Amino acid sequence: MIIVMKAGAPQEAIEEVERLIRETGYTPHKLAGEMKTVIAAVGDGRDKSRLESMESLAYVESVVPILKPFKLCSREVKKEDSIIDVEGVKIGGKHMVVMAGPCSVEGEEQIIGIAKDVKAAGAQILRGGAFKPRTSPYSFQGMEEEGLKLLQKAKKETGLPIVTEVMNPRDLDLIYKYSDILQIGARNMQNFSLLKLVGQTRKPVLLKRGLANTIQEWLMSAEYILSEGNRDVILCERGIRTFETATRNTLDLSAVPVLKELTHLPVIIDPSHGTGYWQYVASMSKASVACGADGLMIEVHNRPEAAYSDGAQSLKPKKFHRLMEELRPIALAVGRTI
């Protein structure tokens, strides 16, 4: 249920409502809007009528049910778009944010060189995997802590905040120290214990869509993070499994307008994993900008032919630079900047 407070409701009235929600066995989640405060009461549906009775309180405007199974990430609870601040970079606002970098951190020269290149092209966040979710146990698994240290070095050199993947709850504390956004990969989208743990932190989380998950399942996963107290979730569409084999995955761009209707969370697109081939990355990036995404995550490598992972879908810095130039007029045409 959502308890909508009247405009100008005093703090004591809000606290009284929160107390009553707890007394009914629900958890209150306060969302302070520009005009009104809204308190979402999340629970198992028992004693709902007691919540409804709160409409009789002086400072309560209305008590309305949340119809969707996802609550805190729903537009029903929060109408305005959420804007997530990552070290001063705002994700979800008018300005589109591009995260770029190699699939895997492979060495100092590689990551620092690419970081400088993507920054010069206009990227605002550096991506790079140190713990890699590989299909084969014999494939390169990532540089682990050594890789995290190199990402930190690249951040020091360029000022770019870092997004990197956390695969195992055991590594969370370590990755937390070195990263600015915690990436949950497609394969872990429904690792609920990992979602709860990152939900208990106060670092933004980039939640990639699972390989074969519906939008509703994806939002339920986001709900796991929000319900633990972390409101800073960025959704990332990265392609889903279909019968098509011409591309690595099928990039579901229709997820963008659907998500914009269902949730206030920012949505970014990863056309690199979405298509699997560098040749298709530019077109799908342009389409992502046009269809209302809040940003992009693009794999860039200085030597894709020698990359330890995902070389085939990585852009060379020069091509990435050109793409950024080509995206600008498209962003302007849809009322954004990039």
- Binding site residues, Mn ion, CB under 5 A: 103, 310
Here the tokens at position 12 are 């004591």
Of these partners, ligand PEP, Mn ion, none, which one is at the site of residue 248 (CB under 5 to 8 Å by kind)?
none
Where in 131-170 is the site for ligand PEP (CB under 6 A)?
Answer: 133
Site stretch for ligand PEP (CB under 6 A), options 42-50, 81-89, 179-187, 277-285: 179-187
Nearer to Mn ion, 232 or 310 (CB): 310
Of these partners, ligand PEP, Mn ion, none, which one is at the site of residue 238 (CB under 5 to 8 Å by kind)?
ligand PEP
CB of 6 to ligand PEP, least distance (A): 44
Among 125, 186, 255, 300, binds ligand PEP (CB under 6 A): 186
Long-range contacts of 218-223 (CB under 8 A, 24+ apart): 218/189, 219/68, 219/70, 219/73, 219/74, 219/259, 219/262, 219/263, 220/69, 220/70, 221/189, 221/190, 221/192, 221/195, 222/70, 222/73, 222/263, 222/265, 223/70, 223/71, 223/72, 223/73
Nearer to ligand PEP, 26 or 308 (CB): 308
Residue nearest to ligand PEP (CB): 185
CB of 185 to ligand PEP, least distance (A): 3
Site stretch for ligand PEP (CB under 6 A), options 41-49, 59-67, 182-190, 330-338: 182-190
Site stretch for ligand PEP (CB under 6 A), options 17-25, 28-36, 184-192, 258-266: 184-192
CB of 297 to ligand PEP, least distance (A): 7
* Nearest residue to 82 via CA among 33, 41, 40, 9: 33
Here the tokens at position 13 are 């009235």
**Interface characters, 102-131, with ligand PEP (x: CB under 6 A):** -x-------------------------x--
Quick check: 311 binds ligand PEP (CB under 6 A)? no
Nearer to ligand PEP, 96 or 184 (CB): 184
Q: Could you write out the DSSP letters of every residue in 283-330?
A: HHHHHHHHTT-SEEEEEB-S-GGG-SS-GGGPBPHHHHHHHHHHHHHH
Nearer to ligand PEP, 76 or 165 (CB): 165
Nearer to ligand PEP, 117 or 299 (CB): 299
Among 78, 273, 301, 336, binds ligand PEP (CB under 6 A): 273
Residues touching ligand PEP: how many (CB under 6 A)?
9
Q: Residue 213: what residue type?
A: N
Quick check: 274 binds ligand PEP (CB under 6 A)? no
Quick check: 208 binds ligand PEP (CB under 6 A)? yes
Here the tokens at position 293 are 């995404």
Which residues contact residue 40 at a Cβ distance below 8 angstroms, ignoring those fewer than 6 apart?
Answer: 1, 2, 3, 28, 29, 31, 66, 71, 72, 77
Here the tokens at position 23 are 């007394």
Nearer to ligand PEP, 133 or 292 (CB): 133
Euclidean distance between CA atoms 69 and 146, whole angstroms: 41
Q: Which phi and psi angles does 104 have, rounded to 5°?
A: -120, 145
Euclidean distance between CA atoms 198 and 208, whole angstroms: 14
Euclidean distance between CA atoms 1 and 71, whole angstroms: 9
Given the rule CB under 6 A, which residues bind ligand PEP? Answer: 103, 129, 133, 185-187, 208, 238, 273
